[in-house]
Amino acid sequence: MSDIFQGALRRRHLLLAGAAAPFASAFAADPEKVRVGFQKSSTLTILLKSRGTLEKALAPLNVSVQWHEFTSGLPLLEALNVGAVDLTADVADAVPPFALAAGAKLTYYAIESPSPQAQAIVVRKDSPVSSLAQLKGRKVAFAKGAGAHYLLLEALAQAGLSIKDIEPAYLTPADGRAAFENGSVAAWVIWDPFLAAVQRQSNARILQDGGKLSAYRRFYLAASPYAQRRADVLNTVFAELKKAGEWVKANPGPAAEWHGPVIGLDAATVEAANQRRSYRVQPVDAEALAEQQRIADAFVQANIIPRKVAVVESPVWKPA
């Protein structure tokens, strides 16, 4: 083969490689999406979203983030169950047992340690109701399957009552507040930041908070197939949530000033709410799972969940 022919062949290879390079680069640059569901009470996840922190942290893994907002935890886990989201932000302790009872294939990947004062049963200041026993026969608003639902069960049991002794009104936080303020319900069971908002902006009085009745841990969950496939993404998400929680607790004023406009509340209200939340992100441990089992059993006993749920057998992801 002549030197002229060899040179031409080399030039042809270089030209072909150069022409193919943009296509290869474009293909490699197309990131996989992780779909994250959250709600207005998902402080740490909203912090990551608003600052673009999670997108930056996941970029080296060629993963982008798609965000989906939900009104409360149960609709969020229903979306996880049907494959509409891959990961959830924090949901209340009562929510996962409902999803598991519906056959959801979920994996626990993080918790926030207890914040029992961050949810409560409230009545109006001029209400004649001064004890839990006086809720008997009255209409009480709460979100079905939320942590508020479990708190209500435990509070009623403490007063010698059951859910059958009241008239439940299953309402979203927005509808619950409207019903509370117009007097169509006697009590409302709600969590922060909505709790802090109704305390500061409306005529509300706490009848019973979580206290010793409900630890109110917050749980982060993943679709099990996703958790099995993308442990690297979960490691990154866990690390970023932990850092976000530490920042919020160390900077209560700036955190409230940032978070307030995002969720449509004034900074003072948000700071009051944040003081009642631990925001300590931790791996899921045996104690948390045992508590999940107790919550599931309580809902089964109340005939709210139709069958026994083996929560303690659920998969748990641990950070590397």
Within-domain flag for 5: no
**What's the confidence (pLDDT) of residue 173?**
93
Residue 283 covered by a domain: yes
Same structural domain, 188 and 305: no
Q: Are residues 109 and 237 both part of a single domain?
A: yes
- Give pLDDT, residue 145: 87
Assign 86 to helix, strand or coil: coil
Q: Is residue 23 part of a domain?
A: no
Question: Which tokens hold the place of 214?
Answer: 């409900």
Could you tell me if residue 3 is inside a domain? no
pLDDT at residue 134, rounded to an integer:
98
DSSP-derived letter for residue 37 is: E
Extended beta strands in 199-280, E state: 204-209, 218-223
Same domain, 281 and 152: no
Q: Which of 182, 209, 236 is the last residue of a domain?
A: 209
Do 110 and 225 sit in the same domain of this protein? yes
In a domain, 20, yes or no: no
The two three-digit tokens of residue 75, written as one number: 């609709």
Residue 154: give the domain boundaries. 116-209
**Residue 294: inside a domain, yes or no?**
yes
What is the residue type of 284?
V
Same domain, 101 and 226: yes
The CA-based angle 308-90-71, given to 5 degrees, is 90
The tens place of each residue's pLDDT in the chain, 320 residues long, gives 444 334 443 444 444 444 444 444 444 568 999 999 999 889 999 999 999 999 999 999 999 999 999 988 889 999 999 999 999 999 999 999 999 999 999 999 999 999 999 999 999 999 999 999 999 999 999 999 889 999 999 999 999 999 999 999 999 999 999 999 999 999 999 999 999 999 999 989 999 999 999 999 999 999 999 999 999 999 999 999 999 999 999 999 999 999 999 889 999 999 999 999 999 999 999 999 999 999 999 999 999 999 999 998 999 999 98
Same domain, 194 and 247: no
d(CA 245, CA 256): 13
**Pair 187, 128 in one domain:** yes
* Length reported for the chain: 320
One domain, residues 153 and 90 = no
Residues 68 and 198 in one domain: no
* pLDDT value at residue 41: 83
Residue where one domain finishes, among candidates 209, 230, 253: 209
- Give the CATH number for residue 139: 3.40.190.10
CA dist., res. 206 & res. 190, Å (int):
10
108 and 227 housed in the same domain: yes
Domain count, the chain: 2
Return the pLDDT at 26: 41
pLDDT of 140:
99
Domain limit, last residue, from 209, 238, 259: 209
What is the reported pLDDT for 262? Answer: 86
In a domain, 304, yes or no: yes
pLDDT of 15 reads: 43
159 and 89 within one domain = no
Are residues 270 and 308 both part of a single domain? yes
Does a structural domain hold residue 16?
Answer: no
pLDDT score recorded for residue 7: 44
Return the pLDDT at 133.
98
Residues 6+ apart with CB under 8 A from 23: none
